Amino acid sequence: MSSDQGLLEDLGAFLHGLKVEENASPYTVKAYRTDLSHFGRFLDAWLNGQETDYRGTAPDKQRATTRSEIGGSRMVKATDIDTDAVRAWAARMHAASLSPVTIGRKLAAVRSYCGWLCRMGALQNNPARAIRNPKAPQSLPRFLSESEIQSLLESPADTDLGRRDRAILELLYATGLRAAELTGLNTNNINLDERTVQVVGKGRKERLIPFGSHATDAIRNYLEIRNSWSNPSGALFLSPKGKRLSTYGLRKLLAEHLQNAAINKPATPHAIRHSFATHLLNAGADLRAIQELLGHASLGTTQRYTHVSTTQLKAIYDKAHPRA
């Protein structure tokens, strides 16, 4: 492949390889497409001496004029990507107050893309490798108490929409699913007789997660009315218009029920996942079992919850220490 090929033409081939050869999830491919499109527009404007934000948007909120629009041909090449350009992009993201985690994810997309360009022969070295991710502050996972979870699960009204929301909240807490995992479920992923859900998680890894009677009953009640929102795709959780529920829709309904339950703390679907893990650990569940349920590749990721479960630690201390 010649290094004269334009950045944006190469992007499609890279994303196709990411999906087909590396078996990346649709969510990863979508995130990489967005991040690299932003980088491409920024790079084009940066090479043209235009001031933009990290998305390639000028201060007047208009998309910067690309050099292809000025010169009539696409001018951004693989060899235009250098360490200075990646560093400038990282600086724009920092100026936009993006979190260290978000900046790190976007830089990882560029590193992966440049690595692919190296393998294709368009670049000799990976210019993004020299740019380190910003150090993220070490924060403990946020979670709700068991009483707060109980209030949250009792929040949905006895309406069609409420039955859907109760099924979502019960399954979310019963399984610790990620937001994208839950909204990506189809009806054939649920086995109510066995009380299990089949999930495709990060890295396209499948896992089978059990759930209890409360979630089972809530899902059965929801399925009775789901057909009136019928969706040919087979999505499990639908909007009233019959479309697959989005992760945005999930966050929105969770925020509404937190407010209804008078829980005055910010919580995301991931906080429910943290609550699932923390409550299991407090009740004495094995850390490796929790790792399997959460779909963590590394036990070290799961061990974050050992720092949260002070309730269990205090109980052990009070029981065992002679001067407690």
User: Any idea which residues carry the catalytic annotation?
Assistant: 178, 202, 270, 273, 296, 305
Edge-first strand listing for the sheet containing 190-191: 190-191, 196-200, 206-210
Whether 197 and 171 have beta carbons less than 8 Å apart is answered as yes
In degrees, rounded to 5, the angle at the alpha carbon of residue 249 between the alpha carbons of residues 247 and 251 is 70
93: exposed, middle or buried (Cβ count in 10 Å: 0-12, 13-18, 19+): buried
Which one, of 60, 64, 61, 12, lies nearest residue 36 by Cα? 12
How many C-beta atoms surround the C-beta of residue 136 within 10 A? Answer: 12
